[in-house]
Amino acid sequence: MAIFITKQDYIKRISLDSFRRQRRNTRGVTGMKTRDEDDLQHFFVANMHDRLLVFTNRGQVYSLEVMDLPEGGRSAKGLALVNLLPISQDETVTTVIPVTSFDPDSYLIMLTHQAYIKKVQMSEFANIRRSGIIAITLNDGDQLGWVRPSTGKSDVIIGTGDGMCIRYSEEELRPLGRSARGVRAITLRDGDRIVGFDAIETADANYVLVVTNDGYGKRVRMDEFRQQGRGGIGLIGTKFKFPHSRLASLRVVHAGEEMMIATANGVVVRQKIDDISIQGRMATGVRLQQLADDDSVVSVTPIVEPSPEADSAEEGKVDEAKGGEESGEA
């Protein structure tokens, strides 16, 4: 399933089959019709039977089942998330993590806008009450920005709007409790900000995909980003085509995968990773998506599709459960 959340926290799910694969440098198709003064903020892929960990800017985490989300077509506006979760007015969703199991040997790595990072055992989030629980303690003015799952033996790679990137071993992050703040992740230059990060989980995670706000992107071989110490400035990860260009997303990808790019106006394009040019860190990339003048890239998501048998089996279980409930009420 493809799941969309807007800046004003409207949510929906839609089948991945609704998005056919397109060539590079095309406009894409509407993935979500947004309301006036609202933009698409988050896009990700999950299995029907996954649980969603919904993290907010205030460092809270809530829990949802994918099957409980409203399903709609590509032009549907979705349902206000406040109808599903007790999110307060000053709270917004910043990251959603689909979870299949809460393995005690797995972790979640969290990164804030003020560049604090920490990792917490996945099992700490196995039992979340309806009102939510604390995921991270924040300094005044700071917000939780990103969360990624890890194996505990990953490398971390972080990207900034100015195109700087830093990679270091997850072993530099000792496991902390949910109430801890974390440690310094990266040193930001004046005016720069973090725009994304990912975990390098396997030896064959062979590319870093960097995409700019104006639709340019490239694959960079992983070995071009050498390991550094935590808290440094990092290396140049990309150059820009235009003065107004900024890095919008950084993701770890594999050959043979697909990915989807989503824009603020709700336009989505699905492409093969192998169609994206391999370039060095100092290159500007190639155009991945044609954008309207008032649009910009907000999210890039690698696609790992579940097997059709797995989804069919799960949907069958859901139908059986619903049938049992209905016959019991009759």
Exposure string over 293-330, b if 16+ CB within 10 A, otherwise e: eebbbbbbbbbeebeeeebeebeeeeeeeeeeeeeeee
Q: Which residues contact 314 (CB under 8 A, 6 or more apart)?
A: 47, 48, 49
- Is residue 276 within 8 A of residue 218, CB to CB? The reply is yes
Which single residue is written with the structure tokens 């409790």? 177
- Is residue 87 within 8 A of residue 112, CB to CB? The reply is no
Lowest average pLDDT, out of 71-80, 170-179, 226-235, 288-297, goes to 71-80
Q: What is the pLDDT of residue 73?
A: 72
Q: What is the pLDDT of residue 25?
A: 52
Q: Which residues contact 1 (CB under 8 A, 6 or more apart)?
A: 13, 14, 15, 16, 45, 46, 47, 48, 66
Residue 249 has pLDDT above 90, yes or no: yes
User: pLDDT averaged over the chain?
Assistant: 85
Find the radius of gyration of the CA atoms of the chain.
19
Q: What is the pLDDT of residue 10?
A: 86
Exposure string over 77-112, b if 16+ CB within 10 A, otherwise e: bbeebeebbebeeebbbbbbbbbeeeeeeebbbbbb
Taking the domains of the chain in order of start, what are their residue ranges?
Answer: 2-16+24-305
37 band by pLDDT with thresholds 50, 70 and 90: low
40 band by pLDDT with thresholds 50, 70 and 90: confident
3-class DSSP string for 287-315: ECECCCCCCCEEEEEEECCCCHHHHHHHH
Alpha-carbon 161 to chain mean position: 16
- C-alpha closest to that of 181 among 233, 120, 105, 254: 120
Q: What is the pLDDT of residue 76?
A: 74
Q: What is the pLDDT of residue 19?
A: 60
pLDDT tens, 153-193? Answer: 999 999 999 999 999 999 999 999 999 999 999 999 999 99
Residue 65 has pLDDT above 80, yes or no: yes
Residue 320 has pLDDT above 60, yes or no: no
d(CA 21, CA 16): 10
Higher pLDDT, 243 or 319: 243
- C-alpha closest to that of 142 among 98, 194, 178, 190: 194
Q: What is the pLDDT of residue 34?
A: 53
Q: CATH for 2-16+24-305, among 2.60.40.720, 2.120.10.90, 3.40.50.720, 3.40.390.10?
A: 2.120.10.90
Q: What is the pLDDT of residue 78?
A: 82
DSSP reduced 3-state for 205: coil
Residue 276 has pLDDT above 80, yes or no: yes
Residue 202 has pLDDT above 90, yes or no: no
325 band by pLDDT with thresholds 50, 70 and 90: very low
pLDDT tens, 78-132? Answer: 888 899 999 988 899 999 999 998 998 999 999 999 999 999 999 999 999 989 9
Of the chain, the percentage scoring pLDDT greater than 70 comes to 83
Which sign, positive or negative, has the C-alpha torsion 97, 53, 248, 15?
A: positive
Residue 71 has pLDDT above 90, yes or no: no
- Is residue 38 within 8 A of residue 2, CB to CB? The reply is no
Residue 310 has pLDDT above 80, yes or no: no
Of the chain, the percentage scoring pLDDT greater than 90 comes to 60
